[in-house]
Amino acid sequence: MILDPSELSHNELYGIVLNSVAPRPIAWVSTISVTGAHNLAPFSFFNAVCIDPPLLAFAPGLRPSNRPGAVSGEAKDTLRNVRETKEFVVNLVTYDLREAMNLTSGEYDPSVNEFEIANVTPVPSKVVRPPRVAESPVNFECRLHQILDFSTAPTSSSLVIGRMVSIHIKDAHMKDGKLDRNSLDLIGRMGGVQYTRTTQRFEMVRPKVG
């Protein structure tokens, strides 16, 4: 079967992409509004972009109209906060944090503090204003590098690129001065309501050429 993306409906293309481009890491992004309100939300359109300069990127979609008073196509709280404050924190999500992370995925009113909804602990960051999630094993404090807006259509999204300015790693996940990747029980997003746990791993050595 060969499909032309331009001939597919939004839902059809969305289903194909999210079910095939997986598993996707999850950015649990904490921000703060210009009035000081805390916000915490997960995004699975997320990955590392570059090490020099050190960049992370996530893509928040526009807000759907399934919340009372919401306007379809308006910026989500996370995107609005990043535009206004130029700062955010990416917190990594472990298996133990799965339920708390999922609770923060709701379309809440901007006045709602998702840290309280999820019963997780906000702790001060070192460089930026938004707090970190204390229970997360790794936190990346970021300052805004660039935002790419793709469209104003209600089904579109923006790409937020942040420059890492401080990294926090829990001591329990350090071994011989390095991050112990095998101790991170991270989860990834699949399609629909499915997630995966990154506990089954295998190794392959890259071939030496020449």
pLDDT digits (tens, 9 = 90+) for 48-91: 999 999 999 999 987 765 555 555 567 889 999 999 999 999 99
Q: How confident is the model at residue 210 (pLDDT cuts 50, 70, 90)?
A: confident
Classify domain 10-197 by CATH architecture.
Answer: Roll (2.30)
CB 162 within 8 A of CB 143: yes
Task: Please give the residue that has the higher pLDDT: either 138 or 62.
Answer: 138
Please state, rounded to an integer, the average pLDDT across all residues of the chain.
Answer: 93
Q: What is the pLDDT of residue 73?
A: 67
pTM of the model: 0.93
Report d(CA 133, CA 182) in Å as an integer. Answer: 21
pLDDT digits (tens, 9 = 90+) for 8-45: 998 999 999 999 999 999 999 999 999 999 999 999 99
Residues 6 or more apart in contact with residue 149 via CB below 8 angstroms: 158
Report d(CA 202, CA 122) in Å as an integer. Answer: 35
Residue 83: its H or E element: helix 77-85
